[in-house]
Amino acid sequence: MRITLDKFFTVLTGLAVMCMIAALFVILGPMIYRGLGAIFFRGTVEFRKMQLAEFEHGNIEKIKQEDIQTKQARQAVYNIIDKFRNGIDAEKLTDQAKQIDRTFGKELQLQDTERERYQELRGLSRDIRDKLIEAFSSTDIEQIKKHIDFVLRYESDERFRKTSAAQYFKLAHEFAQASEKIDFEKKDLYAGELNELEDIIVKLLGPDPNGNKPVLAQKRYGAARWDQAQKLMHELFWKEQWIEQENSKTLVRIETSRAEQFAGTELEPLFAYIKDNSKKMLNPQITFYWRYFLDDSTPGHYFGGIGPEILGTLFLTLLSMVFVIPFGVISAAYLTECSSEGPVIRVIRMCINTLAGVPSIVFGLFGMAFFVLFFIPFFGGPSQGCILAGSLTLAVLTLPVMIRSSEEAIRTVPQTYKEASLALGASKFVTFVKVTLPAALPGILTGIILSLSRVAGETAPILFTAGIAIGPVPDSIFQKTRTLSYGSWDMAVSDKLAAEVPHNQYGMVVTLVLLILCLNALAIMLRSRVFKKLKGH
């Protein structure tokens, strides 16, 4: 019994550790996997077009050629949609008919037709037009046939030959053809569906090449990534619906095939075509987007990289290091070398511990109240959040880390080094600078790297002091900056647009995490090397 309990206990402790390791992998695994998608992915021609237009990267000639090729492949899609539209889009058809009537009238005027003949033709044209419009808006197949037949009676009429009015008949034929395949009960439904479909196609292939250039950058291009494109195609093929169950509140998701929905219509071949030719239309290629770390981004991080964020993080952390290193190292030197334990030193140590325990958000408050509203304006700076205020706040935050690690580093320098130096007639100061400090340097460096990683990951202290979600790259330390940590928060919670591009969302946070993990790995390696050296000695 006791033995079983003991075994059980052993297993339990092992389980606890396994839990932690599992937590680490559960947290980091999916994030890193998805985050890597921001750099390694299959980029479509839209991606290359975007890169060329927004960031001027890429081979112009090649991309132009690619563009032409893909456009050819895409033309069929547009053609099919146009054809189908003719069958159902009464408004558009009506417009077309009216347009024909107007052009015909003008044509007649230009030809100086006799007044009588002119009026006769105009009247006839108007009749045809009205009948057509009636046919377009009708849902009764018999009625439509009647109207179309009426129109087509004039097809062989000499007077309309070789005039623009001939287009009436083309329109009528097309409509007749389309209407044969259409279930007119569903005409309105089709119109709605078609709009949905066209929206997806715009997302997939980019906006209509003949239309205006959209204002928002994210609407200027189609699916830039193959995984995005595949998702869109799935949406295109399968309509997603949430259906209420009879006796429960939960909605159940079902997917219906769009191809079946449009079965028998002019649109049916579209799905097969897109399925078969998707690669031709988008030309996906495996892309290693290393410029992700340098590029700026379009608003909302829809396209582009995280260059400004990385830059801002570097600015902020390095500047804070500039402030904290002298204070940290000197404090550590004083605490280890110059002072004997007394009440003053005890107070200082207690304050260092207190400082280490202050919540980061309180540092944020302090940074705002002191640095932003008091300290920087006191010296004539602007009273607003800026890199300087942020890095000063972060410097205060990381001061205890710096002091403790430097102190430890200085303490691990063997006393014998100092004695040897002093015995050679060096003063305490010279001994510290020439012997202790160089020997403690790897340890201090470890401390610096650890503080660096701590500072790089902090978000709360820069919320009110330096962080910003959208903005230009700062050109002085008196401006706010984007940072990786602030951006990660923003993209996860506040930015709706970012939610549409999970790879960019995850790419940002993974960059931050990997940056910090690399720094930590470096610190661990450095430390183990120092220990080995000291042990070997």
Chain residues 429-488 in contact with other proteins, contact rule CB under 8 A: 429-430, 434-435, 438-439, 453, 456-460, 463-464, 485, 488
Contact 332, 406 (CB under 8 A): yes
| Contact set for other proteins, span 483-512 (CB under 8 A) | 485, 488-489, 492-493, 502, 505, 509, 512
Distance CA 502, CA 508 (A): 10
Q: How far is CA 353 from CA 82, 324, 341, 404, 462, in A?
A: 73, 16, 16, 10, 22
List binders of other proteins among 28-67 (CB under 8 A).
28, 30-31
DSSP assignment string, 398-455: HHHHHHHHHHHHHHHS-HHHHHHHHHTT--HHHHIIIIIHHHHHHHHHHHHHHHHHHH
Considering the rule CB under 8 A, would residue 400 count as an interface residue with other proteins?
A: yes
CB of 407 to other proteins, least distance (A): 11
Minimum Å gap between C-beta 9 and other proteins is 4
Q: Assign 287 to helix, strand or coil.
A: strand
Measure Cα distances from 411 to 332, 334, 343, 400, 408 in Å.
9, 12, 21, 16, 5
Coil, helix or strand at residue 394: helix
Among 19, 141, 216, 251, binds other proteins (CB under 8 A): 19
Among residues 9, 33, 378, 531, the one that binds other proteins under rule CB under 8 A = 9
CA gap 440, 422 in Å, rounded: 17
Of 40-48, 234-242, 273-281, 395-403, which segment contacts other proteins by CB under 8 A? 395-403
Q: What is the DSSP letter of 499?
A: G
Binding track over 309-338 against other proteins, x by CB under 8 A = -----------------xx--xx-xxx--x
DSSP string, 90-111: HHHHHHHHHHHHHHHHHHHHHT
Residue 293 CB, shortest distance to other proteins, in Å, is 18
CA distances from 110 to 114, 124, 168, 468, 501 (A): 11, 18, 20, 64, 56
Residue closer to other proteins (CB basis): 18 or 263: 18
Task: Identify which range of 38-46, 191-199, 284-292, 514-522 contacts other proteins by CB under 8 A.
Answer: 514-522
DSSP 39-97: TEEEE-HHHHHHIIIII--S-HHHHHHHHHHHHHHHHHHHHHHHHHHHHH-HHHHHHHH
Kindly state whether residue 2 participates in binding other proteins, applying the rule CB under 8 A: yes
What mask, x for binding other proteins by CB under 8 A, covers residues 88 to 107? --------------------
Distance in Å, CB of 29 to other proteins, minimum: 10
Site for other proteins in 411-430 (CB under 8 A): 414-427, 429-430
# residues contacting other proteins (CB under 8 A):
104
Q: Tell me whether residue 218 or residue 488 sits nearer to other proteins (CB atom).
A: 488
The span from the CA of 88 to the CA of 84, in Å, is 7
Member of 36, 77, 152, 365 binding other proteins (CB under 8 A): 365
- Tell whether residue 379 is a contact of other proteins (CB under 8 A): no
| 501 alpha-carbon distance from chain centroid | 4
User: Which tokens sit at 201?
Assistant: 């196609």
Q: Does 12 interact with other proteins (rule: CB under 8 A)?
A: yes
Taking residues 196 to 235 in sequence order and writing x for each that binds other proteins by CB under 8 A, - otherwise, the string is: ----------------------------------------
Pattern 109-148, binding to other proteins, x per CB under 8 A? ----------------------------------------
Residue 376 CB, nearest approach to other proteins (Å): 13
The rounded radius of gyration (Å) of the Cα atoms in the chain is 36
Angle between helices 187-205 and 60-88 (to 10 degrees): 180
Quick one: which of 398, 393, 361, 362 has its CA closest to 376? 393
- Given candidates 373, 437, 497, 522, which one binds other proteins under the rule CB under 8 A? 373
Stretch in the footprint of other proteins (CB under 8 A) among 24-32, 186-194, 209-217, 237-245: 24-32
Least distance to other proteins from the beta carbon of 355, Å? 6
Residue 374 binds other proteins (CB under 8 A): yes
Tell which positions 338-357 bind other proteins, by CB under 8 A. Answer: 338, 340-341, 347-348, 350-355, 357
Q: How far apart are CA 470 and CA 449, in angstroms?
A: 28
In the numeric block, the tokens 């057509």 are attached to: 132
Q: Which is nearer to other proteins, 254 or 493 (CB)?
A: 493
